[in-house]
């Protein structure tokens, strides 16, 4: 199981939000590339980078390109051998192409996947199933979109099943009520989503301790292949090298 340190970008800075709320922000640095180098030096095999401005519809442009896309390019330039999984505000095939060209190995479609399934099918056909990931974010089992500000009437499993039929093989699943709260990852919901859809699942939201990582590792047989850790790393509640060891298992 792979551990993905999270690097969430807002106005070019590395931040963490509690439950995705933009008014509840903590800034952890102005140099995301330096932070990325730190995580790789501590053993990270891949990185999870999110354009929060794009997800929230609050993009700031720099030289015709959003500042967070500039940060993606900087992270890739600093660590060209490290795979980057990137999402947030990706709404079109052109967006996917741009993000891949800037150095991402995988692109996450979230809101666009829920509102425009045809885009997902086109993206998989054009770029390949290994490069397209669907982000399924849910609160109380219902999918949320637009930076978690809007709630749909569809369940995570329903959306996941639709995505699998379109050729998607991988999802990032976030229990938004737990994100940034250090309240424990929702292992059961992640495993159920993977089992019910056949998607490989990367768990996100709420990792608070090495026990969370161990529980996810124990459920890997259900189809859980990774975990994203953010707040716990930034607060020091979890050590990245120890989390990686726990994810690898005995």
Active-site positions read 8, 137
Half-sphere CA count of 227, side-chain side, radius 13 A? 38
What CA–CA distances, in Å, run from 216 to 42, 86, 178, 208?
Answer: 21, 22, 15, 12
Measured over the CA atoms of residue 91, residue 191, residue 174 and residue 227, the dihedral's sign is: negative
Q: Are strands 61-62 and 65-66 parallel, antiparallel or unpaired?
A: antiparallel
Torsion angle in degrees (nearest 10) through CA of 219, 223, 225, 226: -70
Q: Is 107 helix (H, G, I), strand (E, B) or coil?
A: strand
DSSP single-letter state for residue 51: E
């Amino acid at each position: 199981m792979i551990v993905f340190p999270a690097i969430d970008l807002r106005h070019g800075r590395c931040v963490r939000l509690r439950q995705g709320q933009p008014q509840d922000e903590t800034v952890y640095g102005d140099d995301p590339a330096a932070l990325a180098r730190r995580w790789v030096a501590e053993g990270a095999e891949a990185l999870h980078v999110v354009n929060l401005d794009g997800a929230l519809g609050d993009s700031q442009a720099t030289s015709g390109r959003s500042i967070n896309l500039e940060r993606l390019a900087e992270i890739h330039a600093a660590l060209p051998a490290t795979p980057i999984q990137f999402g947030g505000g990706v709404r079109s095939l052109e967006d996917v192409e741009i993000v891949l060209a800037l150095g991402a190995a995988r692109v996450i479609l979230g809101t666009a996947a829920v509102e425009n399934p045809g885009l997902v099918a086109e993206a998989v056909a054009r770029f390949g199933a290994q490069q397209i990931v669907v982000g399924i974010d849910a609160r109380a089992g219902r999918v949320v979109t637009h930076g978690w500000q809007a709630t749909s009437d569809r369940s995570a499993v329903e959306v996941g099943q639709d995505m699998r039929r379109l050729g998607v093989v991988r999802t990032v699943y976030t229990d938004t009520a737990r994100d940034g709260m250090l309240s424990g990852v929702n292992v059961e919901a992640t495993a159920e989503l993977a089992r019910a859809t056949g998607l490989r699942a990367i768990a996100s939201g709420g990792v608070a301790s090495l026990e969370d990582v161990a529980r996810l590792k124990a459920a890997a047989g259900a189809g859980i292949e990774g975990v994203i850790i953010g707040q716990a790393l930034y607060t020091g509640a979890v050590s990245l090298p120890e989390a990686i060891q726990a994810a690898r298992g005995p």
